[in-house]
Amino acid sequence: MQMTFRWFGENDDSIPLSHIKQIPGVTGVVWALHDVAAGEKWPLERIREVKEQADRYGFNIDVVESVNVHEDIKLGLESRDSYIENYKETIRELAKVGVKVICYNFMPVFDWIRTDMFKEMEDGSTALFYEKAKVDNMLPMDLVENVLKNKDFSMPGWEPERLNQLTDLFAAYEKVSEEKLWENLKYFLEEIIPVAEENDIRMAIHPDDPPWSVFGLPRIITSKENIRKFLGLVDNLYNGITLCSGSLGANPANDIPEIIREFGDRIHFAHIRNLKHYDNGDFIETSHKTSDGSLDIYGIVKAFHDIGYTGYTRPDHGRHIWDEVCRPGYGLYDRALGIMYLWGIWDSLERTERGVKNA
């Protein structure tokens, strides 16, 4: 297991690399050029700049999260080919600095969705929260109306530039069923996977978060069965997944250790986080400790250990603790604690395995 840490670059609200360096066992930073719009080619000089920054602290930049997929590709429009060519060029440029994994998603319109960025918990910390009824009862036109009336309107996981295009996007997706989205994803994969293989970069799709339809939009990377279907679209080692325990785990029916054991050789990146389910379908993100949430983090780490996982891992969203002012879900303190919890499980499994072998 290669431990990494999500880093948002050298800017005012980012965690300094010098602080990340002090977390035991972290060998790389997970990064992206967040100011480059989806569909645009990433400039090589900018990519090399990130590598130089990471090199100063001895970090690799093997994992990129994310090279975003342009909406026209998801919609299957004629214009998609030019955006796919830009994507291919970006893959080639990233290979020049040694990138090994690209995490991306194929979620229509919205990335991860939460209804509260700083929901207070019993211990006084705050965390990302999803109120199911609020999302279920909000019609697409309600969103459009909120955007038109309030320029500052936002919700976690919503990109501001996309909010301004909501009317057109919802209209466009009226013609896109789940099956059509599968077809568009296959078209994309058939184009980029050969380029990824040529450049020794593994593509790792991120599950939909949450793993069900929102606002009537299709979502397809949601379950073990759908992951199996996805991997069969282009049956190639370079076509893989990002195993995100929090995204898949939002649906209690998803057995995360079982998914890990079935698709282990196609898991190129892992996000490990915990969350607590409520009977009404709400959920809140908790500390990584198994007993603090509803997910079996010990069982998840054990499944990775059992399959001999040597890929990249990072702690996913953390709570906001000790009055830290930070990007929602991406503070230093709780994610550092999460890393040490994950290492504790891993080290105990290693010690037990050595003891059994020695016996």
Residue 7 has pLDDT above 50, yes or no: yes
**Using one digit for the tens of pLDDT, what is the confidence trace for 323-338?**
999 999 999 999 999 9
Q: The domain that contains 303 carries what CATH number?
A: 3.20.20.150
Banded model confidence at residue 284, pLDDT cuts 50, 70, 90? very high
Mean pLDDT along residues 9-20: 89
Share of the chain above pLDDT 70, in %: 91
Residue 115 included in any domain? no
Residue 254 included in any domain? yes
Residue 211 included in any domain? yes
Residue 350 included in any domain? yes
Domain membership of residue 232 as a residue range:
2-109+176-275+293-358
Number of domains forming the structure of the chain: 1
Q: Is the pTM of this model over 0.85?
A: yes
**Using one digit for the tens of pLDDT, what is the confidence trace for 53-103?**
999 999 999 999 999 999 999 999 999 999 999 999 999 999 999 999 999
Pairwise CA distance, residues 108 & 220, whole Å: 10
Which structure tokens are listed for 226?
A: 């759908």
Residue 47 included in any domain? yes
For the sheet containing 283-285, what is the strand order?
Answer: 116-120, 126-130, 283-285, 275-277
Residue 144 has pLDDT above 90, yes or no: no
Q: Identify whether the C-beta of residue 106 lies closer than 8 Å to the C-beta of residue 74.
A: yes
Pairwise CA distance, residues 146 & 191, whole Å: 38
C-alpha triplet 266, 270, 271: angle, nearest 5°: 150
Residue 191 included in any domain? yes
Residue 58 included in any domain? yes
Residue 156 included in any domain? no
Residue 359 has pLDDT above 50, yes or no: no
Buried/exposed 190-222: b ≥16 CB within 10 Å, e otherwise:
ebbbebbeebebbbbbbbbbbbeebbebbbbbb
Share of the chain above pLDDT 90, in %: 81
